[in-house]
Structure 1
Amino acid sequence: MTRRVSHATRIAATVLTGLCLTTSASLAQQCGGDFRQFLAGVKQEAVAKGLSARAADQTLAGAQIDKKVLARDRAQGVFKMAFLDFSKRVISGYRMKNGAANMKKYAGIFQRTEKEYGVPAPVITAFWALETDFGAVQGDFNTVNALATLAHDCRRPELFRPQLLAAIEMVQHGDLDPRNTTGAWAGEIGMVQMLPEDIIKFGRDGDGDGHVKLKESAPDAILTAGAFIQHLGWRRGEPWLQEVDVPRNLDWSQSGLDTTKTGAEWAALGVQSRWGKISSNLPASLLLPQGRHGPAFLAYPNYGIYLKWNQSFIYTTTAAYFATRLAGAPRYEAGNPEPGLSDAQMKQLQKKLAGMGYDVGKIDGILGAGTRAAVQDVQKKVGLPADAWPTPDLLGRL
């Protein structure tokens, strides 16, 4: 799976740092301590929410702590590959071929999904490919054990306890086998990797068998993904990403997600589409994933939905670009980007930027939003083209 951070990071920004909380209603143990006592508290809460004691017992009776889940949770991080490297690696000929074949095979359910939720087939298909290779690699962690482990762990119980309760509800519905259902280490299930709460809210029966089976049923997965993406704010009938050619004399400080202009305004500055027509009336940002010498894209409002699905700029830009390829766009013009920084150099740059008063977040070697913004601002100050791409030249000047 081409994953970099769990979907659970979408649920809340707050992270507990080891405190064990209690609810005033039940005084149930919220995290930590004896595992069986913790599970008893989960059952108590499930019954209080109207779920059956039998479903809670079925779900929790054999639950165990999975130390591999804790190891993954502690070690997770955003990948540090550049856009060109990552996109070339994950958008393979195999995925292009199988993406087209699956859009044809499931044309009926894709048409239904777009009619009901407004989300086109290429958008869902790209996620389907990147998350699980069209269902081939869905993860081998027992889902209940993963959720119970992370809910019991006091690092983020507010994220995972509700997911464990939702898993009990899925067991009650007959949509999850507590002993045999497997998925990702953080509890995501199925071909498009969704958490139990999202499956409860947005799960759709695409094949008409009366159940939502995201592991086995492609129609269920496609329709559910459409419902979920619509919920994130997808705008029907609008583009999401468009590759463009950009004039060399552009004011590069206008690039980045913090700046928006209408398509007509970008066109007036000399920006030209490489595929399709620029949407004149829509707001768009100019994305330069590897600076002014690399590929350039206009990101429309629907691009923001990708960032709600997955917070990594490189992953989301790759997924959005992949969807345009499945929709018929040509391969991007890779250009000749300036060499970037090594991991050690990126950390050195972040330390320097932090010392200058910029909020770059954790010194982790990752070119995240804060670091990009700081780089762009510093480039302007030192007289370099402000395209937000950190180079050895910039580091040397600092």
Structure 2
Amino acid sequence: MLGTPMSNTFFHRLAYSCLLTAALSSTASAQAPAAACGGDFAAFLQGVKAEAVAKGIPAEAADRALEGAQIDQKVLSRDRAQGVFRQTFLEFSQRTVSQARLDIGRQKMKQYAEVFDRAQNEFGVAPGIITAFWAMETDFGSVQGDFNTRNALVTMAHDCRRPELFRPQLIALIEMVQHGDLNPATNTGAWAGEIGQVQMLPEDIIAHGVDGDGDGHINVKTSSPDAILTAAKFIQSMGFKAGQPWIQEVSLPENLPWEKSGLGNEIPASQWFSFGVTPRDGNTKFGDLPAALVLPQGRKGPAFLTYPNFNVYLQWNQSFIYTTSAAYFATRLSGAPTYQKGTPEPGLDDAGMKALQTKLEALGHDIGKVDGILGSGTRVAVQKEQARLGLPADGWPTQALLSAL
């Protein structure tokens, strides 16, 4: 994906799996052993084959999928050198939601109008939503990654850092080989095993794959109809509700109960409207839905209400900046105007953010690591300290807050 380092979406998307694994570890460990990893490579591959056969996959398919498999040191290097995400919403969204991409996206929506109509009719997902992911993940299929997918998954499953996440994806890849939907020797994708024009994992392709072009196969790498419909079915599976909004730009009054803003602080949208929050499109018919007021760069920057469908974006990628940009992108493709930039207060540089996080940690807040990244834990802590100090509690860290602390 072009917006953030390729395959970071994988780890954000699997964050829920990690949390679930941790939450269930006390019982799961007694019921099933951890996936085998490390050790002799040939023995490892034999174990993978045995597991695939136990799941009903023919041994011949497993042999064909694993023949010639090898460890890719470039995959391990990329895994251990993942970059951190430091761009602001304005920086990231203006770079990714460009006029060129909007123009291409609209052309794609027209080119594949019948496919998008089917996606909306069968799965309830609007064309703009799929197209925005298509653009942000691979620039409409032009940048899908050049790592051998089989070798990438073999490497990450053999490595003992997260085998419980990657081994199931390797088994699913073998099943794709069985179905004739993937050539293990030639298929390429992202370094962590994501495949195709919307960068999906093998398990998700197996579970939600749709043959959009009628050739009897599901090929999300080369077939745009397959990729569009598979993405639509996957999005529906994550709880997307047809006909409901996902994000809505709003204008704000001078004074609000800012401490009520932020993801996780949902109240009925009608209550936000009663506070003076005004949708730019004038649509208030979803007032009964729960909504959160999100302020990516504080109360003076762009402002949005997020609705339950926004949770799908958080499952796709848990980066707040990425998800908000992708959701905004989808509204633009659906006819919304460019957001109002506002005049956000300057944020903190890397040194300032680390100094702030150090102070927040000393005050007892759980901000995770002192890494200079404005993550959810830091935003919550900032908001609490702003409220305690009598500052507008919009969750945006500024020099004024750092000085006050």
TM-score normalised by the chain length of structure 1: 0.95
Q: What aligned pairs does 1:224-239 form with structure 2 within 5 A after superposition? A: 224-239=230-245
1:316 paired residue among 301, 304, 323: 323
- Relative distance call for 1:72 and 1:117 in structure 2 (3 A) is same
Whether the 8 Å CA contact 1:6–1:186 is kept in 2: the answer is no
Q: Is 1:326–2:336 an aligned residue pair?
A: no
Residue in 2 that maps onto 1:103: 109
| Amino acid of the structure 1 residue aligned with 2:66 | L
| Amino acid of the structure 2 residue aligned with 1:140 | D
Q: Deviations along 1:246-299, whole A, 9 cap, x unmatched?
A: 001112112111222222211111111112402222111101000011000011
Distance 2:32 2:363 in 1: 49
Whether the 8 Å CA contact 1:143–1:181 is kept in 2: the answer is yes
- Relative distance call for 1:328 and 1:262 in structure 2 (3 A) is same
Q: What aligned pairs does 1:119-138 form with structure 2 within 5 A after superposition? A: 119-138=125-144
Deviation at 1:9, TM superposition (A): 4.3
Whether the 8 Å CA contact 1:255–1:286 is kept in 2: the answer is yes
Q: Is 1:13–2:14 an aligned residue pair?
A: no
Q: Is 1:307–2:308 an aligned residue pair?
A: no
Q: Is 1:66–2:67 an aligned residue pair?
A: no
Q: Is 1:373–2:380 an aligned residue pair?
A: yes
Whether the 8 Å CA contact 1:28–1:42 is kept in 2: the answer is no
Deviation at 1:58, TM superposition (A): 1.1
Q: Is 1:201–2:207 an aligned residue pair?
A: yes
- Relative distance call for 1:276 and 1:189 in structure 2 (3 A) is farther
Secondary structure at 1:358 match in 2: coil
Residue in 2 that maps onto 1:20: none
2:357 paired residue among 333, 342, 350: 350
Q: Deviations along 1:316-358, whole A, 9 cap, x unmatched?
A: 0000000000001010110111010111211221121111111
Q: What aligned pairs does 1:43-192 form with structure 2 within 5 A after superposition? A: 43-192=49-198
Q: What aligned pairs does 1:34-45 form with structure 2 within 5 A after superposition? A: 34-45=40-51
Residue in 2 that maps onto 1:19: none
Deviation at 1:75, TM superposition (A): 1.9
Whether the 8 Å CA contact 1:113–1:222 is kept in 2: the answer is yes
Residue in 2 that maps onto 1:3: 4
Distance 2:365 2:305 in 1: 27
Moved more, 40-49 or 198-207: 40-49
Whether the 8 Å CA contact 2:150–2:170 is kept in 1: the answer is yes
Distance 1:28 1:7 in 2: 21
Deviation at 1:90, TM superposition (A): 0.7
Distance 1:30 1:254 in 2: 46
Distance 1:396 1:128 in 2: 43
Deviation at 1:50, TM superposition (A): 1.2
Deviation at 1:54, TM superposition (A): 1.3
Whether the 8 Å CA contact 2:35–2:163 is kept in 1: the answer is no
Distance 1:309 1:164 in 2: 20
Secondary structure at 1:13 match in 2: helix
Distance 1:96 1:290 in 2: 23
TM-score normalised by the chain length of structure 2: 0.93
Distance 2:326 2:375 in 1: 17
Residue in 2 that maps onto 1:211: 217
What runs of 5+ residues in structure 1 fail to find an aligned partner?
17-22
Distance 1:28 1:264 in 2: 48
Distance 2:93 2:60 in 1: 47
Deviation at 1:189, TM superposition (A): 0.2
Residue in 1 that maps onto 2:267: 261
| Amino acid of the structure 2 residue aligned with 1:366 | I
**Number of residue pairs the alignment of both structures matches:** 392
What runs of 5+ residues in structure 2 fail to find an aligned partner?
23-28
Secondary structure at 2:18 match in 1: coil
Deviation at 1:78, TM superposition (A): 4.2
- Relative distance call for 1:358 and 1:108 in structure 2 (3 A) is same
2:345 paired residue among 338, 341, 359: 338
Whether the 8 Å CA contact 2:181–2:217 is kept in 1: the answer is yes
Distance 1:341 1:66 in 2: 39
- Relative distance call for 1:81 and 1:116 in structure 2 (3 A) is same
- Relative distance call for 1:26 and 1:353 in structure 2 (3 A) is closer
| Amino acid of the structure 2 residue aligned with 1:268 | S
| Amino acid of the structure 2 residue aligned with 1:3 | T
Deviation at 1:6, TM superposition (A): 3.6
Deviation at 1:196, TM superposition (A): 0.4
| Amino acid of the structure 2 residue aligned with 1:212 | I
